[in-house]
Amino acid sequence: MSFSLFWRRGITEQIIPERSGTAFRLSKGETLVVIDPRGEQVADLLAFDAGDIREVISSGRTFDYAETIYLTKGHKLYSNRSNVLLEIVEDSVGRHDFLLTPCSVDTFDHFYPALDRHRGCFGNLAAALESYGVTPDMIPTAFNCFMNVPVDGDTGKLRVLPPISKAGDHISFRAHRDLIIGLTACSAPDSNGGSFKPIAYRIER
Amino acid sequence: MSFSLFWRRGITEQIIPERSGTAFRLSKGETLVVIDPRGEQVADLLAFDAGDIREVISSGRTFDYAETIYLTKGHKLYSNRSNVLLEIVEDSVGRHDFLLTPCSVDTFDHFYPALDRHRGCFGNLAAALESYGVTPDMIPTAFNCFMNVPVDGDTGKLRVLPPISKAGDHISFRAHRDLIIGLTACSAPDSNGGSFKPIAYRIER
C-alpha cells in the first residue's frame, strides 16, 4: 500500500495513502523516520521482534519504565518481555499517544454510527501484518505517532484532539532489535480533525 | 494459593496470601468481589474469555470507550475484540490503575536492585494461569485494583503511591461472559507502601 515518492540524500521516502497501512522489516541499528507531510495526521505504529513475533511493544511496560504517559526524544519503547525494541531519537512534535488501541470496525460503530463503517487502523494493521504471521489478537495498544490525547490529571478524563503536528514534522525511532513494523495513516475522523491525509516514512541506515 | 477464610452469608471468602496469585473460573452473571482486608494493598486482575483465551481485557480498548483512564462503578472492561468482559458494579475506593503491567523479575531488577529478586505479580499470574493454557506472552496490562497511579496532566509524569484503600474496602465486577480470572496480592514495595499484605475475594451468584 505504499510507493516511492522521491529520493532525498539517496534515501527512498515512502507514502502510506490516507486510511491505509503497511508493514515492513526494520533492522537493528536502522532508524525509522515517520513524517506527517501535511500536518495534523496520526500514524499508528507497532513493532514486533522479527525473530519471535510474540514479543511486541507494550504500553504498560513502557509507561512503567519511563514513568510518564507522554513519550518523546530519549524514551525507549519496551516489549512485553521488558526488552527495548525502539528508542525515540528525534521528535519535532513532542505529543504522541500510547493509551489507545487502533480504531476498528467496532470503534467506528461506537463513535461514528452515522458514518460508513471502516476497518480502521486495526484492520489495516491486521491485513498488512498477516504475511508476517501476526494475527488480529496479537495486536496490542499501538504507539500512535502525532495523536493528541490530553488527560485531566484530576478526573482521568481523556479527549482526542487534532494533532499539534505541522506539515513536515517527524518522529524518529532507532531499532534495538531486528523488527517487523506496522504503520498506518489513520482512518478515524477524531484523530486528525476530520481530514484524512497520508503519512510518509523513510528508513535511514 | 488461596484457602477458605470464613463463611459470610453462605459465601466462602478466599484469601490470596501476600506476594502470591491465583486463577479461577467466573461464570457469566456472577460477581467477583475483590477486598483489601487490611488496607493499602494492590490486586492485579486479568480476565480471559473462558471459551477462547485469546480474548482478554484490553486497557487500550477500555480507555477508548470509557474516555477516561480512571475506572470506577459503571465502567466496563472491554476485551481486545471490543466485547465487555467485566463491569464494575460497586467500588468503595474509586482509585485503581489500568496503565501499568504487573511487576516482574525485570521490573524488580529495574526499580529495586538492592532487594531480592521476586517473580512478582507477572510471575504469579503466569504460574496460576498456566493450567488454563495462558502463556506469559499472553498476559497484557492488568487492571490493578486499588493501585494508586496519579498522572500529571501537563507533563504526563506518573507516580506510584500507596493505595487510598482502607481495611475492608472492595471493588466488585460482574461477569458478562464465562471467564478465566487471574488475581494477585501484589509483590512490589512501591505499590503498597512497602507493606505486603493479603487480598481477599468472594464470588456472588
Give the residue ranges of chain A where pLDDT is below 70: 1-11
Across the interface, do A158 and B63 touch by the CB < 8 Å criterion? Answer: yes
CA–CA separation, B166 and B176 (whole Å): 28
Which pLDDT score is estimated for B9? Answer: 54
Bridge-based pairing of strands A84-91 and A169-175 is antiparallel
Strands (E), A37-114: 43-49, 76-78, 84-91
Determine contact: A110 vs chain B, CB below 8 A. Answer: yes
pLDDT of residue B12: 84
Give the number of other CB atoms < 10 A from CB of residue B171. 26
Mutation target among B45, B52, B64, B95 for the A interface, most CBs of A within 10 A: B64
Instruction: Say yes or no for a CB contact (<8 Å) between A100 and B63.
Output: yes
Residue B112 touches chain A, beta carbons under 8 Å: no
Summarised one tens digit per residue, pLDDT across range B29-67 is 999 999 999 999 999 999 999 999 999 999 999 999 999
Of A60, A104, A150, Cβ closest to residue B82:
A104
- A85/B contact by beta carbon, under 8 A: no
Which residues of chain B register pLDDT less than 70?
1-11
Chain B residue with Cα closest to A53: B137
The cell numbers describing B160, all together, are: 506510584
> What does the DSSP assignment read for A19-47?
TEEEEEEE-TT-EEEEEESSBS--EEEEE
| pLDDT on residue A107 | 86
Residue A3, all three cell numbers: 510507493
When computed from its CA atoms, the radius of gyration of chain A, rounded to whole angstroms, is 16
Tell whether A116 lies on the interface with B, counting CB pairs under 8 A.
no
Whole-angstrom distance, CA of residue A47 vs CA of residue A27: 11
The answer to whether A141 contacts chain B (CB < 8 Å) is yes
**Cα–Cα distance for residue pair B74/B91, rounded to 1 Å:** 9
How big is chain B, counted in residues? Answer: 205
**Closest residue, chain B, to A82 (C-alpha):** B106
Q: C-alpha angle B82/B83/B86, rounded to 5°?
A: 125
In this prediction, residue B115 carries a pLDDT of 86
List, as ranges, residues 20-49 from B with C-beta within 8 Å of A: none
| B156 contacts in chain A (CB < 8 Å) | 68-70, 151
B182 min Cα distance to partner chain A (Å) = 17
Give the pLDDT of residue B2: 47
The enclosing H or E element of A110 equals helix A105-111
Q: For the stretch B32-66, what's the b/e string if a residue is b when 16 or more beta carbons lie within 10 angstroms of its beta carbon?
A: bbbbbbbbbbbbbbbbbbbeebbbbbbbbbbbbbb
Q: Tell me the percentage of chain B whose pLDDT exceeds 70.
A: 95
Chain B residue numbers with beta carbons less than 8 Å from the beta carbon of A141 are 58-60, 141
Q: Residue A28 has which C-alpha cell? A: 537493528
